[in-house]
Chain A
Amino acid sequence: MINFLLFPILITFFTGMILIFFQKNIFMQRSISLISLATATICAFLVMLQVQREGIQSVTFGNWPVPYGITMVADGVSTLLVFTSLLLAFFLIWYSFGSIGKEREHFFYYPGIMFILTGVNGAFTTGDIFNMFVFFEVLLMSSYLLIVLGGEKKQLRESIQYLLVNIISSALFVITVAYLYSVVGTLSMADISVKIAEINQPGIITTIAVLFLVVFGLKAAIFPLYFWLPSSYAAPPIPVLALFGALLTKVGVYAIMRTYTLFFVHDIAFTHQLLLIFAVLTIIAGCIGALAHFDVKQIIIYNIVIAVGVILFGAAQMNFDGLEGAMFYLIHDMIIKAALFMLVGIIIYITGTSDLRKMGGLMKKYPSLGWFYLIAAFGLAGIPPLSGFIGKLLIVQGGFAAGNTGTSIFILASSLIVLLSVIRIFLYAFWGKEGQTVQIQEKTYKQLYYPTVILVVISIVYGVGAEWVTPFMDAAAHVLTDPSVYIEAVMKGAQP
C-alpha cells in the first residue's frame, strides 16, 4: 500500500469534516472522534513499523517526477512524531469529555482538534518546503479557532496577540521561502539539500538559514521570540492548553531540526553555534520564568520554553549522540508535558484556583493523584529510570563529544531548576495545611483521572523500556545525521 503513510493525515481530516455535520449531537461527536483517533494511531504505528522494516517511505502526488511534485515522506523522525501526537490527542480528547464543557463541544471543539492534527501530522510528514507552509497554516487556523473558542474576555485579548504574531511570522515564512527559491530554484526539500551542497552554502544561504531560525523560532518559542507564549497559552481551557503545549511548539522545533540537519549543514561553525547560543539563552529565560511565578499554569508553560532549549541544544551538536538525544527528549517532552498539563488541570479543577498560595493539603484526599504528580515531575527533571533521563544523558554526551563542555554542564544544572520549579507545585498543593477545595462529582473526577494516569504510565514505560524505543530513535538519528539517506530515499521513490 503505497499511500498508507498518508492515512494518519487523511483519517483526521475526513473525521473533522464528518464531525461538522453532527454539531448538536455530542454523543456522536465524542464517539466518532475517539474511534477515528484510535484508528489513526494504529495506522501511524503500522507506518512506523513499516519504515523500520523497509526503510523510508515516500509518495509524490499526481505521479509527477520527484523534484517537481509535492512529496510526502515518512522517515524515522516524522513517523515517531506523528504517532506520538496522535496518541496524545487520543488521551486529550478523552480528558476533555469531563473538562471542556458542553458549550464548547457544541461549537466545533472536536472538529478543531481534528483539523489541528491534520496540520500537525502534515507538517511532520511533508517533504516540500512550501507545502510545509500550507500545513502550518492549516494547524494555525485551527489553533486560532481553539484559542478563541468560548469567547471569554481574556481569550479574546490574548488571541488577538497570538494571531498577529503568527500572521507576521507566516508572512516572514513566505518571504524566506521566496528567497530560498530564488537562490536554489526548487522547493522539494531533498532537492534543496542537493542544490545547497552543490553551491557549498554561500553567505546568502546562511542568511536564509538565520531567517528560517527566526520564522520557526517564533513558533517554537526560542529565546527572544517566546514573549507571546506564556500569556497566550494561559488563555484557553486546560485540554486546549495541553494540546498546544504538547504539539504546537514541537512543530516549530521539528522544522528547525529538519532544516538545520538537511539544508544548512555546510557552515556549522556559524549556524549551529548560533542555534546553540539561542538554546542556552532559551533555557535561562525559561528557568527565570518558571521560578518567578506562583501560577501553576505559568510554571508548566515556562517549562515548555526550557524543554525547547534543551532539544535545540541537542540538535545544535550535529553528532549522532546529540541528535538521538534530541529525538528522545522531544518525544519524552511531548508525552510528559501533556501529562503534566492534565495533572495540573485536575489540581485546578479540584481547588478552583490556579494560584499556588491558595492551595494545600490535597495529599489527604487525593493521595494517588499526588504520587502520580510526583512521578511526572521527576520524569520531567530526568531522575534516572524515568523518561527524561536518557534523552538528557545522550544530549550531554553529544555536547561533550562536540567540545561544548561548559554549556553541557549548564544543561545538567538546569535540570535542578526544572525539578525545583515543579516540586514547588507538589509542596504547595499537596503538603501543608488544607486549602480551599471545590466539590466535584466522582464521575467527572474519574473522567479526568484515568486518561492522565495512563499517560503518566506511558511516560514511565517510555523511560524504563528505553531499550524497546532505541531502534526507532537510532533510525531517526541516522536520518538526521546523514542527509544523503533522506535524499536517496526521496529521489529513488520518484522513478515511475
Chain B
Amino acid sequence: MEIVMAFVCGFLFMAAIYLILSRSLLRIIIGTGLLSHGAHLLILTMGGLGGTAPPVLAEGVTDFADPIPQALILTAIVIAFGVTAFILVLAYRAYQELQTDDTTAMKGSGIDD
C-alpha cells in the first residue's frame, strides 16, 4: 500500500511542478494546491499505514493507526486552505490592477520604478 501511495504522491508532485512552471497565474495556483495535497498524502504515508482500527487508544487495543500524522495533516490542510484563499484573492486583485494574469507580462525588476 505504501508503494501505491508513493506513486500517488509522486504523480501529484509531477503535475504540480508542471503547472507551476506554466505562465498563467491561475494554473500556478492550482499547481501549488496540488503540491500541498501531495505533501499531505506524504505525511500520512510516512507515519506508516499499518493498523485498521481508528487512531484511538484504549485498554487492550493493540491494532490502531498512528494518530500523529493525522493530527499533522489536519493542521497542514487548514494552513494550505488559508494560503490558497489568500493567493486567489491576491491574484484577482493583481489581475484588476495589472490587467494581466500572465506572469511574463507582469515581470518587472521593481528596482528603478
Give A residues with C-beta under 8 Å from B: 130, 133-134, 137, 141, 144, 148, 151, 153-154, 156-160, 163-164, 167-168, 170-171, 174-175, 177-179, 181-182, 187, 230-231, 234-235, 293, 295, 298, 355
Given A160-B91, A168-B32: A174 in contact with B68 (beta carbons within 8 A):
no
B83 touches which of A133, A167, A181 (Cβ 8 Å): A167
Let me know if A156 and B94 touch, CB within 8 A: yes
Let me know if A154 and B108 touch, CB within 8 A: yes
Let me know if A163 and B86 touch, CB within 8 A: yes
Let me know if A153 and B97 touch, CB within 8 A: yes
The residue on B at minimum CB distance from A68 is B68
The A/B interface has a contact count, at CB < 8 Å, of: 104
Give residues 68-95 of B contacting A (CB, 8 Å): 68-69, 72, 75-76, 79, 82-83, 86-87, 90-91, 93-94
Let me know if B93 and A156 touch, CB within 8 A: yes
The residue on A at minimum CB distance from B34 is A171
**A168 neighbours in B (Cβ, 8 Å):** 20, 32, 35
Q: Is B98 positioned at the interface, with any CB of A under 8 Å from its CB? A: yes
Let me know if A157 and B108 touch, CB within 8 A: yes
Given A181-B47, A234-B110: A148 in contact with B90 (beta carbons within 8 A):
yes
**A148 neighbours in B (Cβ, 8 Å):** 90, 93
Query: In the assembly, what is the distance between CA of A145 and CA of B5, in Å?
Result: 36
Given A141-B86, A160-B90: A134 in contact with B75 (beta carbons within 8 A):
yes
Let me know if A178 and B94 touch, CB within 8 A: no
Nearest-CB distance from A147 to chain B (Å)? 10
Let me know if A178 and B46 touch, CB within 8 A: yes
A157 touches which of B39, B42, B43, B106 (Cβ 8 Å): B106
Which 10 A-B pairs give the minimum distances between C-beta atoms?
A182-B46, A178-B46, A231-B110, A174-B39, A156-B94, A178-B43, A171-B35, A171-B39, A137-B79, A178-B42
Let me know if B68 and A167 touch, CB within 8 A: no
Name, among A133, A137, A160, the residue most crowded by chain B CB atoms within 10 Å (CB to CB). Answer: A160
Q: Is B112 positioned at the interface, with any CB of A under 8 Å from its CB? A: yes
Interface size class of B (residues with CB under 8 A): 35 or more
Let me know if A182 and B47 touch, CB within 8 A: yes
Give B residues with C-beta under 8 Å from A: 20, 25, 28, 32, 35-36, 38-40, 42-43, 45-48, 68-69, 72, 75-76, 79, 82-83, 86-87, 90-91, 93-94, 97-98, 103, 106, 108-113
**A182 neighbours in B (Cβ, 8 Å):** 46-48
Majority secondary structure, A binding face: helix
Nearest-CB distance from A376 to chain B (Å)? 23
User: Can you list 25 A-B contacts (CB < 8 A)?
Assistant: A134-B75, A134-B79, A141-B83, A154-B110, A157-B106, A159-B90, A160-B94, A164-B28, A164-B32, A167-B87, A168-B32, A168-B35, A170-B79, A171-B35, A171-B36, A171-B39, A174-B36, A179-B46, A181-B68, A181-B69, A182-B46, A187-B68, A231-B109, A231-B111, A234-B110
Name, among A151, A235, A295, the residue most crowded by chain B CB atoms within 10 Å (CB to CB). Answer: A151
Let me know if A157 and B110 touch, CB within 8 A: yes
Let me know if A158 and B110 touch, CB within 8 A: yes
Query: In the assembly, what is the distance between CA of A167 and CA of B87, in Å?
Result: 10
Let me know if B111 and A174 touch, CB within 8 A: no
**B94 neighbours in A (Cβ, 8 Å):** 156-157, 160
Let me know if B82 and A153 touch, CB within 8 A: no
**B69 neighbours in A (Cβ, 8 Å):** 178, 181
